[in-house]
Amino acid sequence: MENRFPPFENKKVYFRRLAMANLSALQDAIGYTFTNRDLLIEALTHANEGRKSNGALAFLGSAAAQFVLAKELFTHHLDTPGKMSKMRDGVCTKSALAEIASSLNIKRHISVPDGLRSEGVYNAGFQTALETAVQALMGAILLDGGYFAFEEFAKKFLFARISGEVVKDPKSQLQEIMQAKMGITPRYELIGTTGPMNNLVFTVGVYSSNQLLAQGEGPTKKEAEKVAAQKAVQELTK
């Protein structure tokens, strides 16, 4: 079968040209146009795709998001430090990053190794790459446009997620529902794992006594438990 990509060095050039061709649509979705497009390309480049990858930008973007959310909470949602910390942490979650990645269609633009891009199946490594790309995108906007440009991005994609109430995690929600309705607590059980050792996908079931309520998958057992709990909450609150 003919390889649809050139050899590795040329493949990086291919992805770079592909990203350049599609950047306008992504920038329209973000609501910001980069002066230095190389920063945007770097934000969308996975660590295994070249020397200039998005890890450092993701570190910067994550820290910047924590700061801008803390400032917003202090200014418009002043409360006890403990509650504000929980509200901030409730915004900067993996699920929130995944939702932003989906709304921006990041998977269309990101440059990752072939093994991470699997269509139609859950791929923990690819999902993590998408979440990292969103964090890196935030870091790139901060470097390219400064604080106020980053704050505009935060207003559009982060501030709306701030709630006056502390949002309980799915496992806590499920436990409260089951105790109120059934007088019992949920039980989680590892059903199995799939994939290579460096990219395992965990499948966990959540049970009411011996009855399976829901299953969840994730890159860790803890993440899979959260997914299973969220599905069970949705079923029990229909």
pLDDT tens profile 79-117: 888 888 888 888 888 878 888 888 888 888 887 766 666
What are the sequence ranges of the domains in the chain?
8-161, 170-236
What's the CA gap between 100 and 161, in Å, rounded? 11
Amino acid 3: pLDDT: 42
Amino acid 93: pLDDT: 82
CATH number of the domain located at residue range(s) 170-236 in this protein: 3.30.160.20
Of 80-84, 124-128, 129-133, minimum mean pLDDT range: 124-128
pTM higher than 0.85 for the full model? no
Of 16-20, 83-87, 143-147, 196-200, minimum mean pLDDT range: 16-20
Dihedral sign (CA 5, 7, 13, 15): positive
Residue 31 CA: distances (Å) to CA of 26, 104, 155: 9, 10, 11
pLDDT tens profile 160-173: 888 655 456 788 88
Amino acid 109: pLDDT: 83
Amino acid 8: pLDDT: 43
pLDDT confidence band for 34 (50 / 70 / 90): very high
Mean pLDDT of 61-82: 90
DSSP 169: P
From 1.20.59.10, 1.20.1250.20, 3.40.50.880, 1.10.1520.10, which CATH number describes the 8-161 domain? 1.10.1520.10
Mean pLDDT of 149-177: 81
Mean pLDDT of 174-199: 88
Residue 134 CA: distances (Å) to CA of 31, 39, 138, 159, 177: 14, 13, 6, 15, 33
Q: Identify which of 11-15, 80-84, 212-216, 229-233 has the greatest average pLDDT.
A: 212-216
Amino acid 68: pLDDT: 94
Q: Is the pLDDT of residue 28 over 70?
A: yes
Q: Is the pLDDT of residue 219 over 80?
A: yes
Amino acid 120: pLDDT: 43
Q: Is the pLDDT of residue 2 over 50?
A: no
